[in-house]
């Protein structure tokens, strides 16, 4: 009986829905801080609702933060952006892989109604989205960059993109994962 009540308390001790807002009207003003507050390996999906605004930050979904959904208020007005690029990072020949605006290492991640952008401009390799988890989905998102916009990593990983708008230049969708693009607009 004591174990059962302790288990119930631990499970109820975290939020399943978190709100991020630049104006302070939500639980957090930063997406990264909201993710840091999430329970690792949750029993149920955790939804982080992001109100309209430009969020100038690098965001990482660590491997232990499975079942997270980032849901934007509006694809055109909820923008995650950052401007790292190969020459700026300067970490040797693998610098490209440190440039991502959104890095997803967790399985069962979902994003919807967001713009994910690497705003570095035409300066060479600059990743907007790096997906290293399995069973990750992106619905009604804009993914914007130049060279290396989307890196779909993981030899056995599967990624799903639905109704997304994706832009880039040189080999801007790359990686060894299996990625399925349904009803997406891809602009080179």
- Tokens for 114, please give them: 């967001």
Which whole-number Å values give the CA distances from 104 to 6, 30, 128, 129, 130, in the listed order?
32, 17, 11, 8, 6
Q: From 22, 46, 51, 43, select the one nearest 35 (Cα to Cα).
A: 46
**Residue 148 catalytic?**
yes
**Residue 171 catalytic?**
yes
What is the bridge-based pairing of β-strands 150-152 and 129-131? parallel
CA separation for the pair 138, 135 (Å, rounded)? 10
**Tokens 């056995």 -> residue:** 156
How many CB atoms within 10 Å of residue 175?
18
28: helix, coil or strand?
Answer: strand
Active site residue: 13, 23, 134, 171, which one? Answer: 171
88: helix, coil or strand?
Answer: helix
Active site residue: 148, 159, 163, 183, which one? Answer: 148
- Residues involved in catalysis: 148, 171
């Amino acid at each position: 009986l004591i174990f059962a009540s302790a288990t119930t308390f631990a499970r109820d001790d975290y939020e399943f829905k978190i709100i991020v807002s630049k104006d302070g009207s939500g639980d957090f003003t930063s997406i990264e801080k909201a993710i840091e507050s999430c329970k690792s390996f949750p029993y149920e999906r955790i939804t982080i609702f992001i109100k309209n605004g430009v969020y100038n930050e690098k965001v990482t979904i660590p491997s232990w933060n499975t079942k997270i959904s980032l849901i934007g208020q509006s694809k055109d007005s909820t923008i995650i952006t950052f401007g790292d690029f190969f020459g700026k990072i300067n970490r040797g020949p693998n610098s490209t892989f440190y440039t991502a605006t959104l890095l997803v290492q967790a399985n069962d991640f979902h994003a919807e109604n967001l713009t994910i952008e690497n705003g570095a401009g035409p300066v060479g390799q600059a990743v907007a989205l790096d997906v290293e988890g399995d069973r990750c989905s992106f619905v009604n998102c804009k993914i914007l960059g130049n060279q290396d916009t989307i890196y779909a990593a993981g030899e056995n990983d599967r990624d799903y993109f639905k109704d997304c708008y994706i832009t880039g230049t040189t080999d801007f969708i790359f990686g060894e994962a299996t990625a399925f693009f349904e009803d997406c607009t891809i602009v080179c």
